[in-house]
A and B are shown apart, each in its own frame.
Chain A
Amino acid sequence: NAGVTQTPKFQVLKTGQSMTLQCAQDMNHEYMSWYRQDPGMGLRLIHYSVGAGITDQGEVPNGYNVSRSTTEDFPLRLLSAAPSQTSVYFCASSYNRDRQPQHFGDGTRLSIL
């Protein structure tokens, strides 16, 4: 099993550009989520999904969209990138939403100029 795979690992964008961060897991996990991590801070939840076709907002959802058309994939979209979205983005998954440890990918480092 590859676990949680995130692509790309690094990306530089200009303000106003759009892009999609990819996340895939091969563990048949129902629950998936996206976090951002800024210097000196813990991880903050952006969006999450408890199963295919279901998504919901986390703590910091503004500027991001998600969809969950399959169990395996949970892409994160930035429609119009802003410098405030410069961060490291982590995707995580778990068997279900309750009392299960979430397993993280190695992150996408995103810089917005």
Chain B
Amino acid sequence: GESVGLHLPTLSVQEGDNSIINCAYSNSASDYFIWYKQESGKGPQFIIDIRSNMDKRQGQRVTVLLNKTVKHLSLQIAATQPGDSAVYFCAENILETGKLIFGQGTTLQVKP
């Protein structure tokens, strides 16, 4: 699979490989984090979330890792498929406000 450092606008992977999308967040008061997938012409779609008292959470083919020490979040997609092609956003929820602050997004391109 491919790994990227800090935020890159575009990630291109081969079908079947693992993808890792990174995100840095800014607010120490953020206690909840969400990954969204956005396909062209659609609204953001919830993928997976994680609370600040956890460092890892797994879903179906997706895993989110949280490193509070360096304020870093990552989304891992196993066995990437063409249907995974989209823009992926991380978002941090500011404690007790409900405000979601979004990252700039990473476009995932899956090559057949």
Q: Give the interface of A toward B (CB within 8 A).
A: 4, 31, 33, 35, 40-45, 48, 50, 58, 90, 92, 94, 96-99, 101-107
Contact = CB atoms under 8 A, between A and B. Distances in A.
Give the interface residue-count category, chain B: 20 to 34
B89 A99 contact: no
A41 B32 contact: no
B104 A106 contact: no
Interface stretch (B39-47, B56-64, B68-76, B77-85): B39-47
Interface of B: 31-32, 34, 36, 41-46, 49, 51, 89, 91, 93, 95-105
Nearest to A6: B43
Given A98-B32, A104-B45, A105-B43, A48 B99 contact: yes
Given A97-B97, A98-B96, A42 B102 contact: yes
B96 A43 contact: no
A44 B103 CA distance: 10
A41 B102 CA distance: 9
